[in-house]
Amino acid sequence: MAKPLILVSNDDGITAPGIRTLVRVAMRVGEVVVVAPDGPQSGMGHAITIGNTLRLDKSIALEDLGVEAYECSGTPADCVKLAKHHVLRERTPDLVVSGINHGSNSSISVLYSGTMSAAIEAAIEGLPAIGFSLCDYGHEADFSHTEEFVEKIIRQAVEHGIPDNTALNVNFPKKGDEPIKGIKVCRQAHAKWQEEFDERLDPHNRKYFWMTGSFVNFDKGEDTDEWALVNNYISVVPCQFDMTAHHAIGMINENWEF
């Protein structure tokens, strides 16, 4: 029986430690092809390249792992599009995985995340997809505690599938002294980033701004990704790209006058 074909991408770039971990684990399950950005693309959301050239080159960044790998000048969504329609145009991936991201993509961060945009782009293309993130922003983050769970989740996705038009958003707690308690299938917490803009001057005395701020969780529920992560569980949130607020259709039709 042929091994499943797994496409790997990310947003931290093809040289990031997180993607090396994900590739190694994915190789235990199937044949791996990598198409990832040639540099960091964090926070790009679902941006695509439409006004500039896109470059795609064979990469040696993962040569020691023995996988077919390409680096792309575009965004994570560009990478998945190029993979499906060019690199793998005569084949169909059985699964697309993105990450492992250096930093959380829980709650509202899913909207800004390049990691999850690669996964969501795959779902738009009709491919089962998972985005993996670790709640540790350090470049030297320790991913070792994620590996057995990444493999388990990938195997479950290959064996049982993922619902159509859905991408899974998987977040891991930062490695600590206690082992991970398990996996929780959750909803996205109601939370947001409270931004502040630090006004500064450059060496030419011109004004610029540096965005800072803090994460605020308004959600007290115990069925959310934020609750799971704080309590040392892995969170799994099924995400959809249909952003219709279905509950609002009736209210607008009943109350607005056109």
Residue 255 assigned as binding residue: no
The number of C-alpha atoms within 13 Å of 163 and in the hemisphere containing its C-beta is 7
Q: 162 forms bridges with which residues in the sheet?
A: none
Tokens linked to 201: 């001057």
Residue 164 assigned as binding residue: no
Strand-pair category, 166-172 with 234-240: antiparallel
Residue 242 assigned as binding residue: no
Cα–Cα nearest to 114, from 37, 35, 41: 41
Residue 105 assigned as binding residue: no
Contacts of 246 (CB under 8 A, 6+ apart): none
Tokens linked to 40: 């960091």
Contacts of 231 (CB under 8 A, 6+ apart): 181
Residues in binding site for a divalent metal cation: 11-12, 42, 101
Residues in binding site: 11-12, 42, 101
